[in-house]
Amino acid sequence: MNCKKILMLLVAGVAQLPAHAQSSNTELAALNQLCRLATASGDYSEAAAVCRRARFDASKLAPGSNEHIASLINEAELKVKLGNHVDAVDIYGRALQMIEQRPGGGATAEAAVLLERRAESQMARGKNYEAELILRRALGIREKLFGPTSIKTAITRVRHADTLTILQQQFDALEQYRKALKVFEAGGVETRDRYLATRLSVAELLSRQSRREEAEVEFNRLLDDAQKLPKKSEYVIAAYDRLAWLQGLKGNVDSARGIYQREIEEIGTSGLRKDLMPQIDERLKALPVAESAS
């Protein structure tokens, strides 16, 4: 018998017991778990029915309890799966209000997580300004709880920087990326992927600001670091692509062609980013004939 059937039997069995706190909590926990299982399996119609029942029962049997909050979070996550971010924002907000009503609830790790999820749904709606405000608050909570140099804080800092970038607040975004980069660099193997991704963000942002010399330094650093690690070809390709483009802008035609060739070889070897090939072909054709070839 699979877990789903066991949980359904448990819910049915507990519902027959005399009403008291223990049986109510057991029923709500089983319903919440069944909701998560149905959502994870892609059975969204069943998930919707179970989630609604869990939320309704929790509001009657244990309002404001952990299981009530969990039922709201489960329903919000189902809405996200269905692409209904408007309802997700609202439901995450209700769960957050319950947490905030508890002593110290407004500045807990649980509140920070819900704020970040709510911000993601706001961004999915195109509400980037609202998302930035929410993430700023989440970042403040992370800094208070874990300190400014913790990995958890750095992860939230990058999310905040991503939103600042979208809002064209590039200098603030760059400052946040660089703070996070120091944390990820010090984290070693545990944070290596985040380190490479954040260094790429720093380099890209410098490039957008036309700070090309600084950007070139960052892309070269990214290339050096990525080449030292296995299975990091996506970062090697990204660095080659931007370095070749920068060399082309500087008029270093031979250098640009050589880097594009190495990028093509990396794409062929890794099988990644084949979608870049048409763009690379166009850029190569647009490069002037080098003096050495004339």
CA 241 to chain centre: 24
In whole angstroms, give the CA distance from residue 71 to residue 98: 12
All structural domains of the chain: 1-82 (no CATH), 105-209 (1.25.40.10), 214-289 (no CATH)
DSSP state of 290: P
Q: What angle do CA 168, 173, 179 make, to 5 degrees?
A: 175
What is residue 200's predicted lDDT score, i.e. its pLDDT?
97
Q: What is the pLDDT of residue 22?
A: 44
Q: What is the pLDDT of residue 15?
A: 47
Is pTM, for the whole model, over 0.75?
yes
* Contact of 140 with 172, CB cutoff 8 Å: no
Identify the pLDDT of residue 38. Answer: 87
Q: What is the pLDDT of residue 290?
A: 58
Residues of the chain with pLDDT under 50: 1-3, 6-7, 9-23, 293-294
Residue 115 makes CB contacts below 8 A (sequence gap 6+) with: 96, 134, 135, 137, 138, 141
DSSP secondary structure code for residue 285 in this structure: H
Residues 50 and 35: beta-carbon distance below 8 Å: yes
At residue 27, the pLDDT reads: 80
Q: Nearest to residue 119, comparing CAs of 177, 65, 76, 182?
A: 76
